[in-house]
Amino acid sequence: MQNPTPSVPTPEQIRRAPKALLHDHLDGGLRPATIVEIARATGYTALPETDPEKLGAWFREAADSGSLERYLETFAHTCAVMQTRDALVRVAAECAEDLAADGVVYAEVRYAPEQHLEGGLTLEEVVEAVNEGFRLGEQRAREAGHRIRVGALLTAMRHAARSQEIAELANRYRDSGVVGFDIAGAEAGYPPTRHLDAFDYLKRENNHFTIHAGEAFGLPSIWQALQWCGADRLGHGVRIIDDIERKGGEVSLGRLASYVRDKRVPLEMCPTSNLQTGAAESYEEHPIGLLRRLHFRVTVNTDNRLMSGTSMSREFEHLVDAFGYTLDDMQWFTVNAMKSAFIPFDERLAMINEVIKPGYAELKAEWLFTPGPGTPPVASGSARSGS
């Protein structure tokens, strides 16, 4: 047997490969059956469908519709069933279980505590319920034979005025499961500089934060997030491609694109979500292909698993189909994500060296144990000992 050139992984290998996820929204990843059950238990009657399968299809169709109103409506329904402690614990636990079953070994999952107060919970009670759910989900995953570590990112809504409060909340719980801060929401008309007080506070506290930027609004959003606010990572950042000029086979980087690449600014890219929002026309035309070739610090993420009908494995399957990526490419993306995580350096290094690299090495070695063509089967009882 000879080791073939690196081949594209099978869907089963993709699922088993260890993966790291940095950009996943808790309210965008609920199980449809859970939504139906919590809605029934809490008396929420506004769901468009009460059959879980039909409801899941409705979420995907609404997200694909091209209508911003329908897209935002999807989150109104998920948030509506996440207003009690028990619901938050359940949703967070199932999130961790689902990610672990998909081969995710490290995840940072974000949510906006301010969106879960309608049932009378305080901000602190929301955070504690979600943290409890993540720990429960990690435990259940271990019992099912999977390993995952989940950290929470607390999100402030950029159209609201609670970013300082949420930043302080993230800082208070930084040793209890919260690993960082984020702002999200419509970029146009709500620049990140509106929240400079929160970012300055986090920098003074030596805390981590990422900013949704460069998804819909373009280069000014990225520039402000980095040069005014000091973001550690960019949520999406896909529009950095606008600062890269291509003429024939020549590629020229503008000042901002060069800065992002040279400073190794992590880009939390979400291919399927980007297609839904019009940031890319197809997987084959998604900027991730060029950015990977140019060695930007690109990571692969899910964004909203329910609305996009996706998972980390499906995201990689699309990229493998579009670009012929191998297990080596998957490992590159995964190591990028782990290098960019908001946990201590020694823990990131241990995850890379003791979990991720060994996992990919085992997958890449599987060809050694696959019989080649024409290899006769070994008859039972025919083996002999020899020197």
Residues that constitute the known binding site for substrate:
25, 27, 185
Token look-up 């049932």 returns 119
Q: Residues marked as binding for Zn(2+)?
A: 23, 25, 212, 303
Strand ranges, E, within 281-368: 298-300
Q: What is residue 267's three-state secondary structure?
A: strand
347 has catalytic annotation = no
Q: Residues marked as binding?
A: 23, 25, 27, 185, 212, 303
Q: What is residue 127's three-state secondary structure?
A: helix
Nearest alpha-carbon partner for 162 in 129, 133, 126, 134: 126
Contacts 24+ apart (CB under 8 A), 190-196: 190/158, 190/159, 191/220, 191/221, 191/224, 192/158, 192/221, 192/224, 192/225, 192/228, 192/229, 192/231, 193/224, 193/228, 193/229, 194/158, 194/163, 195/156, 195/158, 195/163, 195/164, 195/229, 196/228, 196/229
Nearest alpha-carbon partner for 153 in 211, 125, 201, 111: 111
Q: Which of 215, 268, 315, 317 is catalytic?
A: 215
Catalytic residues: 215
